[in-house]
Amino acid sequence: MKKNGIRMMALTLASVLLFGAAFPERVTAATGNGGKTETKVSSEPSMLPLYWGSLPFWPENDEDYGDGYSYSTGTDIYTADKDEYPELAKALEKMVGEIEDYYRDLLPLLKKQTDRVYKASDDEWLSVYQEGIFNLCRADENVLSFVYYDNFSGIGDEADPSSYALGVNLDPDTGKSIDLFDVITSKEDLIKAVDKEIADADIYVDEWKAEARKCVKSALTDDVIYSGAESGLSFTIDYNGLMLYFNGEDTGFDDGPCSLLISFSEYPKLFEKKYMSVPESYFTELMTGDFEYIHWFDLDGDGDPEPFALLKEEHDDVDYEYDMSLAWGSSVEELKEAEYFYYANAFLLHEPDMDCIYVETTTENDYQTVHVYEITEDGPEYTGSQEGSLKFNMYPDDEDEPIGYIPNDPESFKMSTTDWTMGTNWLIGDYSAGEDGMPVQNDHYLEYTNTDYLHIKAVTDIDARYMTEGSRKSRKGTIKKGSYVIPYLLGQDDELLVKTEDDRIWTLELEEDEDGYYTYDDERIIDLFEGLSFAG
């Protein structure tokens, strides 16, 4: 196996942070057997409010930048609602804080090794990174489960990228790690199920299967099993069952993490009812990247989950420009609309009568689009595309504000879009999955984010109607020349609401002229205000 000094240090330290000191206590599931206390299990658990963010680390000083190479680290972040789930919020804060410290401290070590490799190579330019990626598997009131991927680009053309998967499973009420033996009813039955599923997994070679069996049987000799390096077994508790992860260090195969599903549908007696109780509708995240990350889902409707992967491939050998395909069984279907991107997120939407894949692409000009594909027996069928982003940072000023969003509940999720009405600004709104799977705006208004009074100023008097916050009564008035305003809300019927420094909220009914410019009272918005900043 190929190993790298920084890489192996990362695995050791990250394992200790996540699965040693951070979550040492065991959670006992209440199932009503084996002397445990019985509790009521709801037929359909509610979704867990969860917030996502991304924190990059770059060299802070000019002298720390490499001459001929770049290097960076970073990590994803999760936070929970402090009022509704205080223990989970504290546990995530502790875990994320330790991971942040790790990737921050890794930066100078990455520079040292990159500098050494660059000086000994013929490469004109090296781009090196190591980052922690969180992939959300399940988030409801019974369990928060996600995979923490430690991804390393490798250094130089001859070095292969690597990815290491660690499952994280937390009880939302206590914030503690969940013991595998509180999820299953029988160790022996789990071993039998694993043997059968490994034998039936045609995507894996016999040598890998033998090592995977050894890994599971060795871990199950312990009395307590938390997911992670210490137990020797990495797992998540998904909406469809128990997902096992096998890394190159486990099996000797360096093609990235592999996974195996022990499904609720196939082995209903193996699992405690609490964890088999799942919402009727949900989003789960799909990993994309340099490897064929294997996911499991019933794509063909026969009742049995099968493996599939989203493949990111270079477009016509152009660097940092990719296309996306869906591979399952012996089929590979190109998702033609999801193309020419340099970065992508993906999610699986499950509804009682429909399943869809959302692919969110970011192209070279940072234009973001969500492409929706319905899963049918014959493969993915394109439904439509919509400008916007489902997984995005907010960069809040207040530590109590959400750091960013990730879709979880199909009935209510946030979406960010770009707007050019008063310069280039960003809007955020609440959406749900429509009957055809496309995002549908729940509220009449979208809200502008990250705006202030420092830039946009009226260049003439503007007559309009206004209200004050909390009031439903509108009055006639005038936005005086020289008044500073901020974009506030944008309605579905092209009503632009702007706010002046006296907290008055003014409504401008917009129209579009023959050249595509927004106007108010036959005057273009760009002629009514100065300080409008447009990107691009």
pLDDT, one tens digit per residue, over 267-292 is 999 999 999 999 999 999 999 877 78
pLDDT the model gives residue 368: 95
Compute φ and ψ for 302, nearest 5 degrees: -90, 0
Nearest Cα neighbor of 287 from 416, 140, 134 is 134
Quote the mean pLDDT of the chain: 88
Whether the CB-CB separation of 260 and 252 falls below 8 Å is answered with no
List of residues 6+ apart from 165 with CB closer than 8 A: 147, 148, 149, 234, 245, 247, 257, 259
Q: Which two tokens stand for residue 210?
A: 């033998």
At 480, the pLDDT band (50, 70, 90 cuts) reads very high
> Does residue 7 register a pLDDT over 60?
no
Instruction: Dump strand ranges (E) for 215-336.
Output: 234-237, 241-246, 258-263, 282-286, 295-297, 306-314, 322-328, 331-334
Residues 133, 165: Cα–Cα separation, whole Å: 9
Nearest Cα neighbor of 304 from 270, 325, 328 is 328
Q: Return the percentage of the chain with pLDDT > 70, whole number.
A: 89
Residue scoring higher pLDDT (386 or 289): 386
CA distance readout (Å), 209 to 245, 251, 262, 470 = 13, 9, 15, 64
Distance of CA 483 to the CA centre of its chain: 40
Q: What is the pTM of this model?
A: 0.89
Instruction: Dump strand ranges (E) for 94-161.
Output: 126-139, 144-152
Nearest Cα neighbor of 281 from 369, 182, 347 is 347
Residue scoring higher pLDDT (335 or 67): 335
Return the minimum-mean-pLDDT range out of 17-31, 421-435, 440-454: 17-31
Compute φ and ψ for 271, nearest 5 degrees: -115, 150
CA distance readout (Å), 268 to 110, 263, 273, 274 = 47, 8, 9, 12
pLDDT the model gives residue 401: 62
> Does residue 26 register a pLDDT over 70?
no
Residues 76, 517: Cα–Cα separation, whole Å: 39
Opening angle at CA 276, ends 274 and 278, nearest 5: 95
> Does residue 63 register a pLDDT over 80?
no
